[in-house]
Chain A
């Protein structure tokens, strides 16, 4: 702790100070501290939310997919209602959004985008990758999905329909990919390893 650290220790979260913050970081600290001083939110709520963010991982989604592959009744419940389906696996859709699982089949391939911004099923997939939030993916996915998928190395045959699902602030999607052939003897862990984040956004397909 440096001797310059002499501001009063009120309730705000510790600030990591490796290098000088930029303007926007200063703005964020300022807004946060003002709201805490006003009593509109508590520093502990920010810390709790950071813990939630740190705990997020696409492996939650992978587990949903693997159970759905192995348990037809669960799959039906999950497709019917993503929120309660996820809850069965102990996953809370913490941001209070509708969560819809889209099943890929032999004939239909789903992919997910948010053309407006960056809506994403964070509770099951973690935070979205940079490319999901950038304008190239957002603008192009809805008009040339096959060209976009090809940039991910994913070639969907022409006889398979591609459905692009545009997320909103209140409705988030996850893709349930097709279980690859030849995985009948796989353990759960091996299956989970196949179901990567990108397969649940629909820009890749699980392969063995």
Chain B
């Protein structure tokens, strides 16, 4: 089987993807509260050029096709932005790990 297509397309660059004839799902869900916060956060990151829109989009590509396929839209965004912030050395893995534990504890969740 030819591997050419793997090279020609990034995983989330799917225009004209051969063999995709699945019908379009026209149901729409109202935006969840956390999704709105996520959207606002990423907009503000773009305004400050801390992580711009194109970096965030490339960050999504770097998640790979499995994560792109399984995560929801805003799940991809926040993971992409986190990875961009880590790569730029703006945030560090330890502090994200500690902070997520702290936030989870507020809700009596153990991560």
Residue positions of B touching A, CB distance < 8 A: 12-17, 20-29, 31, 33-34, 36-41, 43-48, 50, 52-54, 57, 60, 71-75, 78-79, 81-82, 85, 90-91, 95-96, 99-100, 102-104, 106-109, 111
Contact = CB atoms under 8 A, between A and B. Distances in A.
Interface of A: 7, 13, 16-17, 20-21, 23-35, 38, 40-41, 45-46, 49-50, 52-53, 95, 113, 115-119, 127, 129-131, 133-144, 148, 151-152, 166, 169-170
Given A41-B45, A131-B28, A169-B54, A30 B99 contact: yes
Nearest to A113: B15
Interface of B is mostly: helix
B66 to A, nearest CB: 14
Contacts of A29: 34, 37, 103
Nearest to A115: B15
A129 to B, nearest CB: 5
B74 to A, nearest CB: 7
A158 to B, nearest CB: 20
Contacts, number: 161
A25 B34 contact: yes
A23 B12 CA distance: 23
A143 B19 CA distance: 11
Contact of A40 (B24, B34, B90): B90
Given A27-B100, A133-B73, 13 more contacts: A24-B71, A24-B75, A30-B99, A30-B100, A31-B81, A31-B85, A32-B37, A35-B90, A118-B73, A130-B28, A131-B25, A138-B15, A166-B15
Contact of B23 (A45, A139, A142, A151): A151
Given A135-B20, A140-B20, A46 B29 contact: no
Contacts of B25: 130-131, 134, 136
Given A32-B37, A115-B13, A21 B107 contact: yes
Contacts of B50: 35, 40-41
Contacts of B29: 130
A134 B20 CA distance: 12
Contacts of A138: 14-15
Contacts of B17: 135, 139
Given A41-B44, A116-B12, A116-B13, A129 B22 contact: no
Kindly name the residue among B13, B31, B81, B103 whose own CB sees the greatest number of chain A CB atoms within 10 A. B103
B103 A26 contact: yes
Contacts of B52: 169
A49 B96 contact: no
A147 B26 CA distance: 15
Contacts of B90: 35, 38, 40
A-B complex: 8 closest residue pairs judged by Cβ atoms: A115-B15, A49-B40, A25-B34, A139-B17, A30-B99, A169-B53, A139-B14, A139-B20
Contacts of A25: 34
A39 B53 CA distance: 21
